Amino acid sequence: MPTINEVWEQALLINANLATLHNDQIDLKNCCALTNQRLAALDAGNQETNDWLEDIRKVLGEGFAAMAAGISGVHARQDLSNHLLQHLSEQQRTVICLLEKIAENTCTLVNQGYRQTILQNGINEGMQALAYMYAGANPDAALQHQRSEEQRRKLERCCPPSPPEEPCRPTPCPQPGAVDLPSLKGFEGYRAEPSPVKRRPRPEPPR
């Protein structure tokens, strides 16, 4: 049968073991609390990373939208330039057509004028000769003709005859219509302001 001293020693040993176990539990609790703090800091860091990624996604989205708007504006300007060039080309064809007609008519007029001058000179010489011969042979008839011409001139001063119809009538060339230009406000260009990225302070990890 154990003695009282042996029982007392066993009780002291059990008490010491319980104290050690209690200290171990306290250390374990502190370690778990530290682990929880580190997990909380890690979760906060993950949340901050997600926020940063969201900001980057927004900036990239705005950048791609600005790029798409800029490309669309360049495409619209190119279409307008092509339309204007086509209009200018049609105007140039009209100008060339008019110049060709002017050159053709001018050349025709010069040739006709040359022929008419020769004919008119010959007719003038013949008429002068006939008038001289007729006046010498028939003075009464020449005097009557002179009086008739004076009456005709007086009548024409009172009631001039209608001018003869001109043989040359200009034919209009095809003319392109006006270009419907858009307003200048639609071609001011895209001006995208960069989105400010918020700098968040990073929490320091617990030591």
For residues 51 and 178, the model is more confident at: 51
CA–CA distance, 36 with 25 (Å, rounded to integer):
16
Q: Report pLDDT digits (tens) over 137-178.
A: 777 777 787 788 888 888 888 888 787 777 777 677 777 676
pLDDT of residue 196: 54
For residues 182 and 43, the model is more confident at: 43
CA–CA distance, 163 with 152 (Å, rounded to integer):
16
pLDDT of residue 169: 72
**CB-CB contact of 195 with 58 (8 Å):** yes
When pLDDT is cut at 50, 70 and 90, the band that residue 190 belongs to is very low
As given in the structure block, the two tokens for residue 34 are 């530290």
pLDDT of residue 182: 62
3-state secondary structure 20-71: HHHHHHHHHHHHHHHHHHHHHHHHHHHHHHHHHHHHHHHHHHHHHHHHHHHH
Distances (CA, A) of 23 to 32, 36, 88, 207: 14, 20, 97, 22
Q: Is 99 exposed, middle or buried (0-12, 13-18, 19+ CB in 10 A)?
A: exposed
Instruction: Report the largest interatomic distance among the alpha carbons of the chain, rounded to a whole angstrom.
Output: 198
As given in the structure block, the two tokens for residue 109 are 């007029």
For residues 187 and 31, the model is more confident at: 31
Q: Report pLDDT digits (tens) over 54-83.
A: 888 888 888 888 888 888 888 888 888 888
Q: Report pLDDT digits (tens) over 98-150.
A: 888 888 888 888 888 888 888 888 888 888 777 777 777 777 777 787 788 88
As given in the structure block, the two tokens for residue 91 are 């105007």
